[in-house]
Amino acid sequence: FAKSIIELAEKTGAILMSHYKKDITVDLKNNDAFDPVTIADRAADAHVRQRLGEIFPDDEILSEENDHIPTDYSKRIWMVDPLDGTKEFINHTGGFAVNIGLWSQGKILLGVVWAPALGRLFYAELGKGAFERTPDGNFRELQVSSAKDLREARLLTRTPSSDPRPLDVIVNQLQVKEKDTTSKIKICRIACGEAE
């Protein structure tokens, strides 16, 4: 089951990479300066929704790049962000990923994150653990850091840009061991103990 979603994420990543490092037009979702969208977002979204619909025709799909909002929450729901990190994609920093998750009956059953430019793939299944694919194609189980004090924590935050957000002021005041403003795939890096 996880293997089929990993393959879908990888094929979606190939679509993203076919647009990567090209000059592409950037639009704003709902005229929100913090929320860019590109042809790559839309192409990846169309692919994921089509394939999930073919493989799981009875399931609902909730995608960041699509206006359809499921109304029947008794069904399984696939939650998709086909291009998480559009700004990183646009700026060619590599810090973007395909995210696909499955929710059912109030529980997250499966999550897959594929960062094609970084070559990092993560997945987790309810009751089975969280894993990262190693360079030899095997999977290693993830373990979060054992740091207990905020002053010993490594903080992953967004890349500074010309569009400061109100939360930036608060984040900048945190007293932590280290701040990584070039961080990518933040949740996965926390899950595997690279930061807190």
CA distances from 182 to 86, 94, 109, 126 (A): 14, 10, 30, 30
Q: How confident is the model at residue 191 (pLDDT cuts 50, 70, 90)?
A: very high
Q: How far is CA 147 from CA 19, 132, 181, in A?
A: 39, 21, 20
Q: Which of 10-19, 148-157, 160-169, 187-196 has the lowest mean pLDDT?
A: 160-169
Residue 66 confidence class, pLDDT cut points 50, 70, 90: confident
Position with higher pLDDT, 195 vs 23: 195
Give the residue-averaged pLDDT of 84-92.
Answer: 82
Q: What average pLDDT does this structure show over 93-107?
A: 93
Res. 34: pLDDT tops 70: no
Task: Name the residue with higher pLDDT: 158 or 79.
Answer: 79
On the question of pLDDT at 96 being above 80, the answer is: yes
Q: Whole-number mean pLDDT of the chain?
A: 88
Enter the pTM of the model: 0.86
- Helix ranges restricted to H, the chain: 2-19, 39-55, 86-90, 166-173, 186-191
Find all residues with CB under 8 Å of 62, minimum gap 6, and list them.
Answer: 68, 69, 70, 77, 78, 79, 80
